[in-house]
């Protein structure tokens, strides 16, 4: 079995929806030329995550439906290229738009629509509607089926996000992103992959985009191999700040064998001990009013 190749489209947005559509389609075509099985966009590609430099009502007006011509164009292209595509958008929604990801398989079928659950409510994202669930789907790729889920940016800071996806069977978590990927955030991704034995592919905007710095990455979650005396680096790829399309190769056979024999993930959990996690009446030890995204 060949590695599953994931194209991280670390590209800068243009000024309009039409221009982002044009650049996005061209980037997907280039990803296919590079051998990709899946192409992933950074967060909110439809408007380039431009929600900080304009009035709230102005960027809300840029929201589009999940079945808009913009989104469906990527579905048609997925079928044409025989390549799965995860495209992101500011999605029209009652009460306030959503920060969403639509995943198309290589036949152009929409496999799921995921809306960011942990919106950054300490900042301008308080004007968004948060999602309600973490879906997992079996994605048909040229390298065979793979169980895929998603988080978006700030979702990674909550261990529950990746844990739920793992419990639903996810082998690969796609993570569109729009923030500086410094050592601590990269460490969060590494930890989520390690503790759940899942691969995590993150696509960020390049350093030419305000408050972003590239660093798109793939952590494969495989910390130990029988032939090694110690642990291994689970980082398969980490991009620099420059704009580009970065191909990360995931060894699914290795990951699946690892999940069968190792002790992380769901192997020795004690769910009956975790009731406090869902107790909404517990008073937190501190309340943080906010910080930079």
- pTM of the predicted structure, to 2 decimals: 0.96
* Contact assessment for residue 124 and residue 51, using Cβ atoms and an 8 Å cutoff: yes
Residue 191, classed as helix, strand or coil, is helix
* Contact assessment for residue 12 and residue 242, using Cβ atoms and an 8 Å cutoff: no
Closest CA to 100 of 57, 140, 66: 66
Cβ neighbours of residue 63 closer than 8 Å, sequence gap 6 or more: 90, 91, 92, 93, 97
Measured CA to CA, the distance from residue 197 to residue 6 in angstroms comes to 18
pLDDT at 290 over 80: no
pLDDT 10s digits, 69-105: 999 999 999 999 999 999 999 999 999 999 999 999 9
pLDDT 10s digits, 188-223: 999 999 999 999 999 999 999 999 999 999 999 999
* Contact assessment for residue 234 and residue 193, using Cβ atoms and an 8 Å cutoff: yes
* Contact assessment for residue 223 and residue 231, using Cβ atoms and an 8 Å cutoff: yes
């Amino acid at each position: 079995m060949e590695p599953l190749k994931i194209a991280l489209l670390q590209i800068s947005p243009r000024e309009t929806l039409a221009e982002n559509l044009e650049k996005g389609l061209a980037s997907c075509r280039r990803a296919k030329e590079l051998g990709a099985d899946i192409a992933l966009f950074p967060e909110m590609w439809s408007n380039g995550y431009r929600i900080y430099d304009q009035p709230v009502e102005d960027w809300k007006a840029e929201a589009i439906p999940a079945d808009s011509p913009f989104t469906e164009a990527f579905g048609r292209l997925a079928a044409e290229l025989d390549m799965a595509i995860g495209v992101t958008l500011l999605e029209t929604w009652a009460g306030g738009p959503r920060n969403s990801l639509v995943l198309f398989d290589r036949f152009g079928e929409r496999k799921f629509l995921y809306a960011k659950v942990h919106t950054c409510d300490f900042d301008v994202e308080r004007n968004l509607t948060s999602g309600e669930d973490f879906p997992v789907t079996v994605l048909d790729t040229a390298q065979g089926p793979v169980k895929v889920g998603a988080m978006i940016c700030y979702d990674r800071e909550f261990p529950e996000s990746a844990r739920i996806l793992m419990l639903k069977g996810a082998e690969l978590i796609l993570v569109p992103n729009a923030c500086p990927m410094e050592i601590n955030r990269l460490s969060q991704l590494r930890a989520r992959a390690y503790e759940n034995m899942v691969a995590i592919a993150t696509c960020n905007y390049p350093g030419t985009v305000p408050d972003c710095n590239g660093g798109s990455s793939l952590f494969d979650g495989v910390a130990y191999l029988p032939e090694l005396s110690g642990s291994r680096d689970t980082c398969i790829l980490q991009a620099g700040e420059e704009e580009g399309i970065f191909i990360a190769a995931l060894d699914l056979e290795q990951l699946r064998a690892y999940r069968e024999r190792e002790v992380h993930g769901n192997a020795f959990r004690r769910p009956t001990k975790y009731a406090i996690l869902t107790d909404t009446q517990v008073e937190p030890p501190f309340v943080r009013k906010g910080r930079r995204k």
